[in-house]
């Protein structure tokens, strides 16, 4: 009997010794880390989508369903891949992946606030520009952006606990077969979810605007889409101009309405002076702030020139460089990246080249690093004879990024040989975002808006106006004013989409996609010698229209310009790089895929689809010309 009791106790002791908790604490901690990753990345992606206003509230509406499904399924696929290929190091790989994704989406968020686009592979070619826009990056950062760092402490704490509990052993590995089966099942389910999301979208619209892709399927899918697209373009795309593409170009130019003859050659043989003003938008013209005119010199110039008050900028991710490209080539910029980086060896029929045939010497002036935006190489392709850059100026007025605009314009004028016909292209710099360089500028009293972005921008615009006004006076003093075509315009936006609050006090702006689209105008002035029809011109136009307009005034043919002659067009319109279309009858807002009347009321889109497609066809033709270097074929002939 005693032996039986003893054996029973021994068995009980053994059972006690071999008993394990139902759930291992290490497994619980690891499970939490995977959940932190899944829902942390989902939260960060969602923050990007809604903080950039690509998607709108209510968060869980049917409108946002495909974006959430796509994003969640892709995170699950990524987690499965990590589990499959990393065994004992899986949590380290998980942390590194979380950090990299967080930094990527944060970079997307900051980049989008300035460029209204996510980072693309072509943009990475421009990575050298980052150091030059440090102040803008700081200004773009918001306190809420700390959400991208929120899960790092939890991750590190979890890894510390696991390391502490596993001090005498490594993290338990998972058998290969079990990992393979688990990953396969999760990936299969995730692909099903993604297919469900994809089926709710319209992929045909993705070619028009990257933001369509992000809006429908999320930022993670966009990066996959962008990488895949660039690999195809770089390694699997035939750059040879196909017969059907050449036919499309031929048909476009053959069917284009011939320009009229109004003002033909009125400025033949005259000099050409173009000033591209950094970030000066149309709403500062003829506006008073704190009782004073913001731009008194430009306001005065309206009466001495043709002032285009419906002039839209049409830049893409290349911003200032895109504006230069539009003006000098009458082609649209790229949807992704900058032409200046992707196609600096293409053949172009540019203003400098057209004028060179007439005996002109062309100068490009910019008081900044010559390699910025790859200008050194691109200006060779465009045909500028001389590029005067930061290396050529005396730094006697430091403001913002470098030499102040007033000194820049005065010094530039001294570098031109005015004894022969010339084309001078001047790119100002001082009024570059974020405008905090003007906090100490005393030339304009902004009252209670001192040390605010609104006040600093008003000061910046006033300073540029002062610099341009002095330049115009100097042209008169040197006898060049009445012997030159003078074109002055702003290159791109001044206000970022998430900073429109500053416009409430300045112009009473209330945000809507329609109002935002209609706001994307910059001032544009055109003056030629002997001009009599001065004042405001309401024609809807854009930067792409400057070359053909100038060419007509100078009696020059520009057969491969996509733009229209502003003074001879029968109908004004502007096509933006994001595929939006502005006409005299309607405005198509690409970000919403909606059509509005001039009163801001919604119209039936189906009534305008064919007309919208006809305008957007210009973008397709321009893309073919750039991607296939098509003008090398035409100009060779």
- pLDDT tens-digit series, residues 130-156: 555 566 667 788 888 889 988 888 777
Give the pLDDT confidence score for residue 23 in this predicted structure.
Answer: 58
Under 8 Å between Cβ of 155 and 102: no
User: pLDDT at residue 292 above 80?
Assistant: yes
Contacts of 107 (CB under 8 A, 6+ apart): 119
For 292, phi and psi rounded to 5 degrees? -125, 150
Under 8 Å between Cβ of 299 and 285: yes
Average pLDDT over residues 572-600: 96
Percentage of the chain lying above the pLDDT 70 cut: 91
The top-scoring range by mean pLDDT among 139-153, 168-182, 445-459 is: 445-459
Q: Which of 577, 462, 481 is nearest to 529 (CA)?
A: 481
Three-state DSSP class for residue 623: helix
Q: Which of 259, 249, 291, 246 is nearest to 552 (CA)?
A: 259
Own/partner contacts of 64-67, CB < 8 Å, gap of 24 or more, are 65/197, 65/200, 66/197, 66/198, 66/200, 66/201, 66/216, 66/217, 67/197, 67/215, 67/216, 67/217, 67/218
Give the pLDDT confidence score for residue 245 in this predicted structure.
Answer: 96
Average pLDDT over residues 2-12: 52
CA distance 498 to 455: 17
Supply 367's token pair.
């008081």
Average pLDDT over residues 564-568: 97
Average pLDDT over residues 333-356: 92
Give the pLDDT confidence score for residue 165 in this predicted structure.
Answer: 62
Kindly report the average pLDDT of the chain as a whole number: 89
Average pLDDT over residues 351-362: 98
Give the pLDDT confidence score for residue 61 in this predicted structure.
Answer: 86
Give the pLDDT confidence score for residue 174 in this predicted structure.
Answer: 77
H/E stretch holding 153: helix 152-165
Q: Which of 110, 140, 486, 464 is nearest to 281 (CA)?
A: 464
Under 8 Å between Cβ of 211 and 578: yes
Three-state DSSP class for residue 541: strand
pTM of the model: 0.77
C-alpha distances (whole Å) from 92 to each of 31, 87, 559 are 14, 10, 60
Q: What is the largest CA-CA distance in the chain?
A: 128
84 or 371: whose pLDDT is higher? 84
Percentage of the chain lying above the pLDDT 90 cut: 63
Three-state DSSP class for residue 604: coil
User: pLDDT at residue 170 above 90?
Assistant: no
Average pLDDT over residues 369-379: 86
Residues of 366-375 as b/e, b for ≥16 C-beta within 10 angstroms? bbbbbebbbb
CA distance 36 to 151: 7
User: pLDDT at residue 13 above 50?
Assistant: no
Q: Which of 366, 330, 336 is nearest to 350 (CA)?
A: 330
* DSSP letter string, 446-510: -GGGTTSHHHHHHHHHHHHHHHHHHHHHHHHHTT-GGGEEEEEEE-S-SS-GGGTHHHHHHH---
Contacts of 606 (CB under 8 A, 6+ apart): none
Under 8 Å between Cβ of 210 and 226: yes
* DSSP letter string, 80-128: HHHHHH-STTHHHHHHHHHHHHHHHHHHHHHHHHHHSS---HHHHTTGG
- pLDDT tens-digit series, residues 592-617: 999 999 999 999 999 999 999 999 99
Under 8 Å between Cβ of 461 and 480: no
- pLDDT tens-digit series, residues 199-211: 988 886 676 567 8
Q: Which of 493, 590, 557 is nearest to 330 (CA)?
A: 557
CA distance 580 to 578: 6
Give the pLDDT confidence score for residue 123 in this predicted structure.
Answer: 73
The sign of the torsion formed by the CA atoms of 383, 385, 391, 397 equals negative
CA distance 333 to 346: 13
Give the pLDDT confidence score for residue 424 in this predicted structure.
Answer: 98
Q: Quickly state the pLDDT bin for 584 (edges 50, 70, 90).
A: very high
At residue 396's C-alpha, the angle toward residues 391 and 400, to 5°, is 80
Average pLDDT over residues 461-476: 98
Q: Quickly state the pLDDT bin for 224 (edges 50, 70, 90).
A: very high
Q: Which of 416, 551, 550, 546 is nearest to 489 (CA)?
A: 546
- pLDDT tens-digit series, residues 527-545: 999 999 999 999 999 999 9
Q: Which of 73-82, 269-278, 497-506, 574-583 has the lowest mean pLDDT?
A: 497-506
Helix 319-329 vs helix 546-553: angle between axes, to the nearest 10 degrees?
30
| Beta-strand relationship, 524-527 and 398-399 | unpaired
Average pLDDT over residues 60-67: 89
Residue 295 exposed, middle or buried by CB count within 10 Å (0-12, 13-18, 19+): buried
Contacts of 621 (CB under 8 A, 6+ apart): 248, 249, 252, 562
Q: Which of 124, 373, 382, 375 is nearest to 234 (CA)?
A: 124
For 415, phi and psi rounded to 5 degrees? -95, 5
Residues of 535-574 as b/e, b for ≥16 C-beta within 10 angstroms? eebebbbbbbbbbbbbbbbbebebebbbbbbbbbbeebbb
CA distance 343 to 94: 39
CA distance 176 to 621: 52
371 or 224: whose pLDDT is higher? 224
Average pLDDT over residues 179-183: 87
Contacts of 310 (CB under 8 A, 6+ apart): 521, 538, 539, 540, 541, 572, 574, 582
Average pLDDT over residues 277-297: 96
Under 8 Å between Cβ of 548 and 564: yes
- pLDDT tens-digit series, residues 383-410: 999 999 998 999 999 898 889 999 999 9
How big is the chain by its Cα radius of gyration, in Å? 30
- pLDDT tens-digit series, residues 486-503: 999 999 999 888 788 889
């Amino acid at each position: 009997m005693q032996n039986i009791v003893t054996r029973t106790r021994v068995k009980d002791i053994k059972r006690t010794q071999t008993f394990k908790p139902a759930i291992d604490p290490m497994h619980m901690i690891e499970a939490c880390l995977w959940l932190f990753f899944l829902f942390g990345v989902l939260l960060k992606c969602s923050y990007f989508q809604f903080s950039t206003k690509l998607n709108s509230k209510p968060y869980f509406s049917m409108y946002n369903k495909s974006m959430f499904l796509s994003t969640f399924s892709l995170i699950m696929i990524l987690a499965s891949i990590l589990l499959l290929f990393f065994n004992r190091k899986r949590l380290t790989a998980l942390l590194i992946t979380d950090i990299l994704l967080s930094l990527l989406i944060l970079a997307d968020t900051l980049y989008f606030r300035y460029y209204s686009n996510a980072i693309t592979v072509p943009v990475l070619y421009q990575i050298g520009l980052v150091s030059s826009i440090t102040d803008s990056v700081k200004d773009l950062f918001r306190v809420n952006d700390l959400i991208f760092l929120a899960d790092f402490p939890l991750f590190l704490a979890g890894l510390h606990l696991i390391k502490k509990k596993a001090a005498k052993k490594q993290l338990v590995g998972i058998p290969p077969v079990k990992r393979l089966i688990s990953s396969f099942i999760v990936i299969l389910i995730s692909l099903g979810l993604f297919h469900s999301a994809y089926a709710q979208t319209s992929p045909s619209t993705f070619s028009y605007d990257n933001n369509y892709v992000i809006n429908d399927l999320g930022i993670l899918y966009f990066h996959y889409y962008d990488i895949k697209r660039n690999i195809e373009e770089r390694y699997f795309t035939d750059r040879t101009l196909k017969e059907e593409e050449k036919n499309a170009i031929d048909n476009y130019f053959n069917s284009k309405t011939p320009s009229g003859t109004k003002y033909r050659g009125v400025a033949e043989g005259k000099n050409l002076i173009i000033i591209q003003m950094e970030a000066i938008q149309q709403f500062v013209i003829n506006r008073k702030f704190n009782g004073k005119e913001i731009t008194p010199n430009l306001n005065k110039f309206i009466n001495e020139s043709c002032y285009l008050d419906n002039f839209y900028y049409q830049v893409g991710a290349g911003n200032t460089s895109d504006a230069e490209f539009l003006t000098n080539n009458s082609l649209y910029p790229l949807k992704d990246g900058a032409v200046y980086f992707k196609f600096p060896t293409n053949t172009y029929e540019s203003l400098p080249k057209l004028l060179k045939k007439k005996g002109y010497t062309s100068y490009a002036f910019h008081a900044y690093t010559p390699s910025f935006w790859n200008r050194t190489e691109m200006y060779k392709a465009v045909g500028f004879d001389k590029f005067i850059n930061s290396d050529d100026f005396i730094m006697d007025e430091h403001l913002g990024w470098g030499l102040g605009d007033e000194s820049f314009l005065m010094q530039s004028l001294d570098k031109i040989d005015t004894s022969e016909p010339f084309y001078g292209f001047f790119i100002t710099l001082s009024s570059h975002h974020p405008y905090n360089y003007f906090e100490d500028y005393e030339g304009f009293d902004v009252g209670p808006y001192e040390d605010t972005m609104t006040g600093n921008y008003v000061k910046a615009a006033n300073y540029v106006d002062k610099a341009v006004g002095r330049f115009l006076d100097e042209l008169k003093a040197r006898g060049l004013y009445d012997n030159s075509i003078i074109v002055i315009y702003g290159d791109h936006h001044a206000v970022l989409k998430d900073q429109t609050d500053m416009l409430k006090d300045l112009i009473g702006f209330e945000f809507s996609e329609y109002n935002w689209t209609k706001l994307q105008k910059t001032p544009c002035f055109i003056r030629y010698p002997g001009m009599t029809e001065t004042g405001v011109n309401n024609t809807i136009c854009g930067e792409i229209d400057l070359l053909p307009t100038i060419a007509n005034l100078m009696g020059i043919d520009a057969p491969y310009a996509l733009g229209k002659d502003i003074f001879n067009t029968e109908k004004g319109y502007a096509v933006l790089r994001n595929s939006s279309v502005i006409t005299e009858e309607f405005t198509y807002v690409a970000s919403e895929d909606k059509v509005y009347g001039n009163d801001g009321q919604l119209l039936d889109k189906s009534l305008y689809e064919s007309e919208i497609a006809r305008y957007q066809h210009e973008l397709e033709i321009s893309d073919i010309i750039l991607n296939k270097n098509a003008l090398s074929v035409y100009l060779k002939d």
